[in-house]
Amino acid sequence: MSLFKTHRTSQAEARLEKEIHDLMHDLEHLKASASHDAQRSYEQLRERAEGLLQHSCQRGSETYHSLSRHCQQVGQCACNCVRAHPWASLAAGVGAAALLGLLVARGRDD
């Protein structure tokens, strides 16, 4: 035994080593637990994001089909109107073309 080492200091060292060992064990357990909690949170976040994506895709599909039906109805109404009033439709088409031509020609002059 050395000059400064006594039975009491040996016991204190042993207790300190045990406390350090227990602390390291607890830290490893905490690390594993935190990793498990983070993984679980990640999985929950991922499931929620997938659910929101599916919901958005479903809403987008519904909107697309609704808009498609509406456009078909508008097209059918326009076709019926042109068939019911061919001369007025022709005059409206010529007027729109003339207006467009005037705007294009005016843009070139500037």
Rounded-to-integer distance, Cα 30 and Cα 32, Å: 5
Tens digits of pLDDT across the chain (110 residues): 455 566 777 888 888 888 888 899 888 888 888 888 888 888 888 898 899 999 999 999 999 999 999 999 999 999 999 999 999 999 999 999 999 999 998 877 76
pLDDT value, residue 1: 47
User: What tokens does 35 get?
Assistant: 């990793």
Length of the chain: 110
Helices (H) and strands (E) in the chain, counts: 2, 0
